[in-house]
Amino acid sequence: MSDAIFLFGTLRYLPLLNLVAGRDLTTSLGAATLEDHAINTVAGADYPCLVHAKGERAEGLCLRSADTGVRDRLAFYEACFGYALESVTLANGEIADVFRPLKEPESDAVWDLEAWSTRWGAIALEAASEVMSRFGKEAPEEVGARFGPIRIRAASKLRAMAEVEREGAGAARPVAAVKKQSRGYDRFFAVDDLVLSHTSFDGQRELEVERAVFLMADAVTVLPYDPQRDKVLLIEQFRAGIFARGDRYSLSLEPIAGRMDPGETPEDTAHREAQEEAGVSFARLEFISRYYPSPGGTSEYLTSYVGIADLPDSIAGISGVAEEGEDIKSHVLSFEALMSLVSGGRNANGPLVLSALWLAQNRSRLRMLANAGA
């Protein structure tokens, strides 16, 4: 094992390196080159890989004299992604260790650190903060197995922090202070137990409360609507939440819905999920609202749309992404059937009720636009 570590990828982003290491390493770094190698982007991903390339030069950083604590933290972080140390000889003849996967992945374009840090740096920092909170508490393989949800939650948190100040009631209310926080469950979703304090409305008392929060991701719902035929498309699928409540009718009719991937806009998610779940393409999206569907206990934040589409009866069928365990059946219904479903309370899920009521208010306008060729 060498005293030096060659850094070629995302850990060259100094804020990320220092966060993972647990201290500022700026003065321990120097420029370094690895010959006959290149730094490419992993195929279908946004992160880099080190590949053998005769005559190329991989420019990176060399971390020298890293103590055991720093090395252990870096090794934990990289092991979350299946990376381990191997020795290489740098262009100056120095022996250094480098974190690499057991098998060289397929790659395509040359990876650019500046472009990556501009687009993904903030998400990487937020996700790494959660990853490193598990250092010394869990095996890296366990943390790495849920890195997808960790990254999605990180993106959701950053969107929330970037929102402009709200108007109206509650706009000037101070943020609660966290007195204690512990995580009771962490897989696809997570549950945090919180002890919070905040000032009372009259300003006279400091209130301390205990709360449990179900941590979810930002998500999008979209109700496909064909204004020419005056029909909508709903998807039917099993919902564990309904089942867990003891409801015998655990198959739910809903708008198309899905979590926002990091880097996506709500519109991106709406179009992607419509293709994945029902094979539907939209001419345009009509914005309904952004909202917390159940703010007392979950962090889920929804953006809802009606999507203008052609909906022949033949579009109904069975679909879904098999790798995600989706088993989805789609149905084409008349507007009248939709409203009967909602008003009768036979399919009482929030996004469908909200979307149907919005459509009832805007249906005439949408049909007029369609008839006018807009």
Q: Which positions are annotated as active-site residues?
A: 324
CB-CB contact of 190 with 215 (8 Å): yes
Q: Which 3 state secondary structure label does DSSP give 342?
A: helix
- Point out which residues pair with 290 in neighbouring strands: 303
Q: Two tokens at 93?
A: 């003849």
Q: Which 3 state secondary structure label does DSSP give 248?
A: coil
DSSP track, 106-144:
PEEEEP-HHHHHHHHHHHHHHHHHHHHTTTTTS-HHHHH
Q: Which 3 state secondary structure label does DSSP give 185?
A: strand
- Point out which residues pair with 224 in neighbouring strands: 307
- 33 vs 14: CA distance, rounded Å: 18
The response to whether 219 counts as a known ligand-binding position is no
| Cβ contacts of 319-322, under 8 Å, gap ≥ 24 | 319/276, 319/277, 319/278, 319/279, 320/237, 320/276, 320/277, 321/276
The response to whether 273 counts as a known ligand-binding position is yes
The response to whether 277 counts as a known ligand-binding position is yes
The response to whether 257 counts as a known ligand-binding position is yes
What φ, ψ does residue 182 adopt, rounded to 5°? -140, 150
Annotated binding site: 257, 273, 277, 326
Annotated binding site for Mg(2+): 257, 273, 277, 326
